Structure formats: C-alpha cells, structure tokens
Structure 1
Amino acid sequence: MVANEHTNSNAGHSDESNAVSRRRMLQTTGAAVVAGAGLSAASGSVAADTDEIMEVDFRYGTPSIYDAPQGEDEVVFNVHGYTGSSASVSQAGQFQETARSLGYTETVTAVTWDDSGLPWSAEASARDTGDMFASWLGDYKNANPDTTIRILGHSMGGIVQMETLAAIGGSFTVETADSIGSYEVADGPCESGDFYTAIQDSAGEVRNYYSTNDSIARLGSGPADCGGWFSDGTTPSNYWDVDVSDSVPDHTSYKESSGCVTKIISNY
C-alpha cells in the first residue's frame, strides 16, 4: 500500500477536531485542579504546570534529568532544527505561546543538540543525539513514572525524534513522537525504511505534520514515500501523515501557525 492510501485511510484519525480528546477533558477540569492546588504538596500529587522553558542541553554531554521539570503530568520535549541551537529555548517558547493561546496548558521543555558545522555533520550529530536522548529519557521516565512524555522535532529535530525511538528499542514507550517539517528521509517510516519497527515499539502514536510549501524538509514536505523505486510497503498502524499545507507557508512557520498547532494539540 502506498503512502497516500495509508494517509487517506487514517484521515479521520489525524484530524480529530470533533472528538472529545484527553486534552479537552483535562481542560474542562482545569478549574478544579487550580482550586485544589493547595492540596498538591500535602497529598504528593503531580505538580502544577509551569510556563518556564527549561533546557535539556546535549551539546556538552548528557545533562542531568533535573535540567527538565520534575513531577509534571505532561511534558512536550521540543527539539530544534539545524542552526537552531542558540534559539532552542525561544523556539520552544514559540510553540508554547501558540499552544497556550489555543488552550493547551501543559509544560514545554527545550531539547538542545550540537548542530554546528555543515549540514552533513549536523545531521550526523542529530543521529548521535538520538542515542543520548533515549538514554536520558529512560532515566527521566524512571524518576517521573507518572509524566506523559511527548516529543516534537522540527526539521533536523525530526531526525533526533526518529533516532530516539530507534535507540529506545521498545524498552519503554513515549506517548507521542511527532515532527514538523522533518528532515528525516521520506521513506523512514515505511516497512522497508529504517524506523518502522522503532515507531511500532517505542511510541504510542507518531505523526508527520507536513507542508507541501516546505522546500527544505524531506519527510516533512509530504506524506511518507513508501512507493518509490527503492521503497515499498506500508507505514505502521500507529503512524499518520497530517497535511498542514493550508496553514504553513514555509519551513519556519509551523510553531507560530495556529492551524498547525491546533492539529498537533488536538491529537494529544
């Protein structure tokens, strides 16, 4: 089955704006959570969400798990793309700002990796970071077993996203591992690609939010390509391609686009 067939068969699942999601349920009970916040410390319940953007920085080795928020009910780990390391925190902040305006109140954390050098060396670094991030996430999950973990990778951050799933190797699962404008290869999620098993085994759900207006992305410029000369088969049952072309005009506009971010958080 080619990629477009898979995308169409899951279109209703990808655009879940009319469904009552877990996120909507949490938003409905938000007032009650705030009212009971004074009981949290005494009862040992999960800490309140924070607007602070903390940074988990892999440029100088593996950071402490305490560089990320502890005891949160949910954390989105935002992974920047090529040349984005110096703006990693502000880019995570852009996603948070747009998500907050749409009613999403959970915690966002910046993941920073070494993107120095030419594109080919930065890509190699992104792939290496996947191993480090997977190990770090394992320790973080052990220390925060009740925290829902989500990954969102932009551009070469989409490479980090996929390599992290591969390195996890099914030893645990993250709730969602999504990409926007991914620079991963277009057949990566396919049965004949490198990440089919990783997607199946290491994440609850994986989505590729793509824009056909994105002239820089590879996987992120269209749906997964499982029907090319050197690629065949389907994508995993827990993977979806989501078209955000109508609201994303270029490679840098995903996080500020309310149309794109609406689709992302509606699938949380």
Structure 2
Amino acid sequence: MKSRIPRISTRDFYDLGSGKKLKSKSYDLYPKKFFETLVGVPEITIMIHGLRNNKSGALAKFSIAQNRLRQLGYEYPVVGFSYDSNTKGIQYKSCEKKATNVGRIIARQNGHNLSKFIIDIKSKFPHLKIRLMGHSLGSEVIIHTLAKLKNKNDVVESVYFFGASTPADYITPKKFGRILQKTVRHKIINYYNPQDEVLKYAYETGLIEKPLGYCGLHGKSMSKYVQKKVTPKNHRFVSYAAVLKSFP
C-alpha cells in the first residue's frame, strides 16, 4: 500500500476570487502525528505545487515528487505544502489576468504560513534539515517564505525551482538575492526551459514579467545560485520531475 504523504495545508485560508485572508491560523497538519515524531529524522523535503491545483491535484504533485525522489535514492520524508491555488476563472482567457494576480497574492501571503511552519518545526527539531522544492507558482511561495525568514541564517538547506513563474529579477541582489544567500545554507538550483509553453505564453501576454523558469537569470546573482537548462516535454511537474537526474 502506498504510504500516506504528510502535508502542511492552508486550504480555505484565502478567498479564491480576491486573495483576501479568511483565517487567522497559520496552517493545518495532516497527519499531526507525523510532525510530532521527527526525532532522529535528519531531513525532509517540502514540495510546493503551482497554480490551478485543487486538493486532489496538489496530492498528485506530492506523489510525483515522492516517487521521483525515491527513484533517485532519496530516503527521507517528502512533505506537501497545499494552498489555495485554484483561483476563480483561471481556466478562462477573459479572467486569466485577474486570476493569475490573485494566485500570486495568495502565494505571497503563504510565505508567512510556510515560514511559520519552518520556525515551529525547527524549534522542536533544531537539527532537522529542510529542503524546498517548488513548481511554477510554488517558486513564489518559496521566495516569500525565505523573505519572512530573513533574520534566520542557513535555516533552509537547499532550494529547487522547476518551471518557476517567479520574475527572474526576484533573485537578484536588488530584490531577494541577498536574503536567499543568507537563509539558504547550501544551494539554490533553477531548472529552466526556454521552450516552456505555459511560461512563454505568460511572458508574451504580460501575465508574468520574465519568468525565471522560462528566461533564466541574466546578469548578477549570488554564489549559491545555479541554473540548469532542461528540456521537459511540457510545463507539467511530472515532466520536470522526469528530467531531474540527482537529488539532493
């Protein structure tokens, strides 16, 4: 029987039509027992999905991450971070601009939620290493999580972006680059694809300014940042996972 993938959830915490915060709590945990029994576990990887994922879609992405990392010999727990990314009207061209903007608003606010979890779990298990893996809009959740952790040195072990929709300039020193350099202990790897059809469309229609997963970064970055050009079949996370050759 397939093991249940533990997850951190902020589902129904935000309004899918406006991005307005609906709940004051920071997150829910499923199953709670898993997060209480991490004594002796050396590390976990948290996977953050992208836009247009409901609860079941998010769980499917977590399963893909878990299966691929196991194939690559990763023996530690994979945890999912599930948030309100299935914004209203995202499937319609007439609404896509607003729905994308609302998704980005929700992703940004979830930086607070995920950072709070990281602070809480590290207070209980100080030696636990945490790796963050984000697909598409999940990259923005990660950026804003690290921004909230700006006073914590080396709190996250490493970061992996796949088809990142976050603007490329977010990781420059003028934006969040110095914070990433401080909060990430080891490395930030950006797997980008200049043929990514979804990010190309988002860029050419002005939905997102120069997506990191499509354009890569040109110019000054930080020493812990590495980018790797890959050629997945399409923008789906399963395609990006398939081209991942090693982890961590």
Give TM-score, length-normalised by structure 1: 0.71
Which residue does 1:112 correspond to in 2?
82
Q: Helix, strand or coil for the counterpart of 1:160?
A: helix
* CA positional deviation for 1:188: 1.3
Q: Helix, strand or coil for the counterpart of 2:160?
A: strand
CA contact (8 A) 1:180 1:254 kept: no
The CA distance in 2 between the partners of 1:146 and 1:162, in whole Å, is: 23
Name the amino acid aligned to 1:58: T
2:65 to 95, 105, 124: 95
Pair 183,256 (structure 1): closer, same or farther in 2 beyond 3 Å: closer
Which residue does 2:107 correspond to in 1?
126
Q: Give the superposed CA RMSD.
A: 2.0
Which residue does 1:238 correspond to in 2?
224
Which residue does 2:117 correspond to in 1?
136
Q: Helix, strand or coil for the counterpart of 2:46?
A: strand
Pair 100,93 (structure 1): closer, same or farther in 2 beyond 3 Å: same
Cα deviation digits, residues 198-246 of structure 1 (max 9, x gap): 11111122111111221223111132133xxxxxxx101111111122x
Pair 67,122 (structure 1): closer, same or farther in 2 beyond 3 Å: farther
CA contact (8 A) 2:61 2:238 kept: no
Q: Percent identity?
A: 22
Q: Helix, strand or coil for the counterpart of 1:216?
A: helix
CA contact (8 A) 1:77 1:151 kept: yes
CA contact (8 A) 1:68 1:109 kept: no
Give TM-score, length-normalised by structure 2: 0.76
The CA distance in 1 between the partners of 2:34 and 2:84, in whole Å, is: 18
Q: Helix, strand or coil for the counterpart of 1:188?
A: helix
Which residue does 1:74 correspond to in 2?
43
CA contact (8 A) 1:73 1:146 kept: yes
Which residue does 1:84 correspond to in 2?
53
CA contact (8 A) 1:211 1:250 kept: no
Pair 255,136 (structure 1): closer, same or farther in 2 beyond 3 Å: farther
1:132-211 matches, cutoff 5 A:
132-172=113-153, 173-192=155-174, 194-204=175-185, 205-211=187-193
1:29-40 matches, cutoff 5 A:
none
Higher relative contact order at CA 8 Å, sep ≥6: structure 1 or structure 2?
A: 1
Pair 257,157 (structure 1): closer, same or farther in 2 beyond 3 Å: closer
Moved segments of 4+, more than 6 Å = none
The CA distance in 2 between the partners of 1:146 and 1:255, in whole Å, is: 33
Which structure 2 segments of 5+ residues have no match?
A: 14-24, 89-98, 200-210
Pair 241,170 (structure 1): closer, same or farther in 2 beyond 3 Å: farther
Which residue does 2:8 correspond to in 1?
56
State the structure with more CA Rg.
Answer: 1
